[in-house]
Every structure is written in C-alpha cells, then in structure tokens.
Amino acid sequence: MDRQQEYVLRAMEERDIHFIRLWFTDVLGILKSVAIAPAELEGAFAEGIGFDGSAIEGFTRVYEADMVAVPDPTTFQLLPWQGERHGTARMFCDIVTPDGAPSPADPRFVLKRALKKASDMGFTFYTHPEIEFYLFKSGTGRSTNPLVPLDSGGYFDHTARGLTNDFRRTAIEMLESMGISVEFSHHEAGPGQNEIDLRYADALSMADNIMTFRTVVKEAALAEGIFASFMPKPMGEHPGSGMHTHFSLFEGDRNAFFDAGAEYELSKTARSFMAGVLHYAREFCLITNQFVNSYKRLWGGAEAPNYVCWGHNNRSALLRVPMYKPGKPQTARVEFRGMDSAANPYLAFAVILAAGLKGIEQDMELPPEAEDDVWALTDAERRAMGIDPLPASLAEASAVMGQSELAAETLGEHVFDFVLRNKRQEWSEYRAQVTAYELERFLPIL
C-alpha cells in the first residue's frame, strides 16, 4: 500500500465517510458509478473491484466481460451534495482486465497513452475548457411539453431574478470544495444558458474535472428544483452548448507555444501543433462532436464554428489564437472551438493532442490565417481559399473517421471499432425517425 492509499484510508476514518463511489467513464463519456463500503476499500486498492463490463457501452463484448476497476487514490474527494455527516466520497478508477493489463476500452487509458506519447516528446499537455450548458425550469422538449428556460437573459446579463446567480454560486462552491478551480462564469447568449470556465490543468486531471463538473452542475440544479443539460443543441432557435477549449504544451516549466517576437507570440511548435489539429479536424470530428444532435449545433448557425481554418480575432474560425497578454508567456495557447459540451473529454483531448503532436512530428506547415468572416463567404470562395467544412452529419463524420489512421492509432483499435459501430447504429436509428418537421411540412400537402 502506498502513502496516497494510506492517506485515503485515514481520511475516510477522520471524516466519517460511510460510502465511497468508484467512478469511471464509458466510451460514450457517460459517468458510471459503483458504491462500496469503506471496509471494502483496502481490497479495492489491492485488487480492484470486479464487475461485468458487458453492460457498459464500449467496454467489452459478452465473452470477455470481466473487468476490474482500480481506484486512483490521487482523485479522492468528498461529494459536497451528500452532506457533511456520514459523507460520501468518490475516486476515479482505471479499468484493467482480470490479469491486470490496462483495458483498451478505458477512455482514461486512451488519454493516458496519448499523454505518454507527449511526455516521451518532452511535453506536458494543459487544457482549459469553457463549458456551456442550459438551465431549464421544466419541460421535455416535446410539442406537448416544451422546454422552459430558467430565464430570458442574454450574454453576460445579470439576471435580476437571481435564481441563475444562486445556482452558479452553489455550483461553484461545490466545485471549489472538490478542488476544481473555477476561473470565470457568466450568462451566455441563449435563455437559461450559462458558461463556467475551469482553471487550466493537465489534461488527465481536467478530463476527470469535466466529468465531475457535469455531475456537480446537475446536482446543484436539482437542489434548486431546476435541471441542467449539456445537450449540444437542445433548442433549434437558440445557440447550442459548445465546450471551447484552450490548449498549450509545456516543456518543463516553459510554455512551448510561446516565442517572444514571433507573430502572435506563437512558437514554431504552436504553429505545427495547430497545423496538425486543422489537418485532422475532420477525421476526429466524430469524437469531439459525437451525437446526431452535435451536428445541429455545428450547422444550426449562432456562431458555431464549422469550417476548418484558424484566425487571431476571428469568431468564425475553428481554431482561434487568443490575444497575448504582455508579460505572461505562460498563457500562450490556442483555442479549439469545435467541441461541444457532450463530448467524452478523455477521448476528445486524446485525439486533439495526437493530431497536434503529429503536426509537430511532421513539421506541418500552418495554412494562411483566415481574416474574413468565413460564414459570409460563398462556397466557391471558401473552396478557393482551401477552407473545408466539418462533416455535415453524424453519418459523414463516421465515414470520414472510418478512414482515419490517426483516430485508430490514438483511440486504439478496440475503441475505434466500437465508436464506429455505435455511431452507425445511432445514425440508422435516427434515420428511421419521422420528425415533427416532416409531418408539419409534408402531411398537409401530400
């Protein structure tokens, strides 16, 4: 038993914790939880907790279903909404096979493997997401029971009714109490839409944090009698929920993206990284935008970036270079705006990192900056400028990723195979729908 594990066992006693939740994430990014009693914990550290993986999306197929969850003691945290007395704590788990090898289906392992590659090249990968989501008073979104947003505020509005502010305060307090630093929070453009930015951290911790964040936000909303959703595009007429994320690579304590005096203070490394991300953006789109609904956000207007290009102060660009803050070389970074709030953060960070590293390895050339509003250009103009669109639908994204060696290599063959099969299935189910749109438009006239 190492010291970290001893610390957890001691903390369990000292803080009178009665339950411990072991968390892990399935391939689609849905949080899974197993609760165990404190007495089981020592065994869980030593041997893990066995479970049948066949019921978990993407984990295994029936014939090799046995999986073992091994808690990572460095992720030990009290769950603030479970009360102070007889509290509940959580730890994230690594998933291994019964003989102890990392499970190729574990998204956390996929990210760890990508980070290992970065580390072999001398890099640490930092991320900083801006997570958008909606708060609703009620509704299911069906025509009989429409969604009722919590408020009708807009971008940066201070909503007078205050419930939104209360909610944000509760949520942020919970997050901070779990060691997740919040940098910024504000009302977003849609009614009931909010954004909370997390302070940058290494990619693995951040992916854990995002999983925690989603749970905390949902719990905090329930506590206020409302509900929260990270669905990419819950209402057709209002903006979707994106997860713009800032990325940077560090070599030791030095920001490898920074180069004083270069254009936008961006180093050669940063430019190659960006080139790689742009080069592969279409191929990994299925991971950063993984649901049928994701493509409603990308192609539903309201400033969602859907063309593969980069810019400095260009809101229409997929990859944006934020304004450099003089004297702060550590903050040099690039912002990827394509991802939505429903992505599996482990897999999404892994593919973006892998694409960027390929750019660095192959010394890719960054295409010219897009200075125009790319949405205002005609298709022909965009073609002339070599600006490709992101896939238009889940079907197209699946087809493009199916040809991607980068995605296969980064996700591992198992996850790659599963995601493709799962997404083809999702598309064929979706295609079988008869939508309200069709009924309204065609039933009367046909």
Interface residues with another protein (CB under 8 A) are: 2-4, 61-64, 74, 97, 99-102, 104, 119, 122, 251-253, 408-409, 412-414, 417
Nearest-angstrom CA–CA distance, 142 and 24: 32
Q: How far is the CB of 267 from another protein (least distance, A)?
A: 15
What's the distance, CA 193 to chain centroid? 17
| Closer to another protein by Cβ: residue 82 or 205 | 205
Which residues, other chains included, contact 34 with Cβ-Cβ below 8 Å and sequence gap of 6+? 21, 22, 49, 51, 69
| Closer to another protein by Cβ: residue 118 or 277 | 118
H or E element at residue 95: strand 87-96
Q: How far is the CB of 256 from another protein (least distance, A)?
A: 10
Q: How far is the CB of 405 from another protein (least distance, A)?
A: 8
| Closer to another protein by Cβ: residue 283 or 340 | 283
What is the longest distance spanned by two Cα atoms in the chain? 72
CA distances from 74 to 55, 180, 418 (A): 27, 14, 30
Q: How far is the CB of 403 from another protein (least distance, A)?
A: 8
| Closer to another protein by Cβ: residue 147 or 286 | 286
| Closer to another protein by Cβ: residue 197 or 409 | 409
Torsion of Cα atoms, 418 then 423 then 426 then 431, to 10°: -140
Q: How far is the CB of 366 from another protein (least distance, A)?
A: 24
Pick the closest to residue 172 from 198, 143, 148, 145 (CA basis).
Answer: 198
DSSP tag of 238: S
Pick the closest to residue 114 from 298, 268, 247, 212 (CA basis).
Answer: 247
Strand partners, 131: 196, 243
Q: CB–CB of 209/110 below 8 Å?
A: no
| Closer to another protein by Cβ: residue 61 or 161 | 61
Nearest-angstrom CA–CA distance, 412 and 175: 32
Pick the closest to residue 217 from 174, 162, 163 (CA basis).
Answer: 174
Q: CB–CB of 287/422 below 8 Å?
A: no
E strand spans, 242-317:
243-251, 254-255, 307-308, 310-311
| Closer to another protein by Cβ: residue 370 or 411 | 411
Q: How far is the CB of 414 from another protein (least distance, A)?
A: 7
Q: How far is the CB of 326 from another protein (least distance, A)?
A: 19
H or E element at residue 89: strand 87-96
Q: How far is the CB of 360 from another protein (least distance, A)?
A: 14
DSSP per-residue string spanning 376-445: GS-HHHHHHTT-EEPPSSHHHHHHHHHT-HHHHHHHHHHHHHHHHHHHHHHHHHHHT---HHHHHHHTTT
Q: How far is the CB of 392 from another protein (least distance, A)?
A: 23
Q: How far is the CB of 208 from another protein (least distance, A)?
A: 14
| Closer to another protein by Cβ: residue 64 or 363 | 64
| Closer to another protein by Cβ: residue 76 or 167 | 76
| Closer to another protein by Cβ: residue 103 or 293 | 103
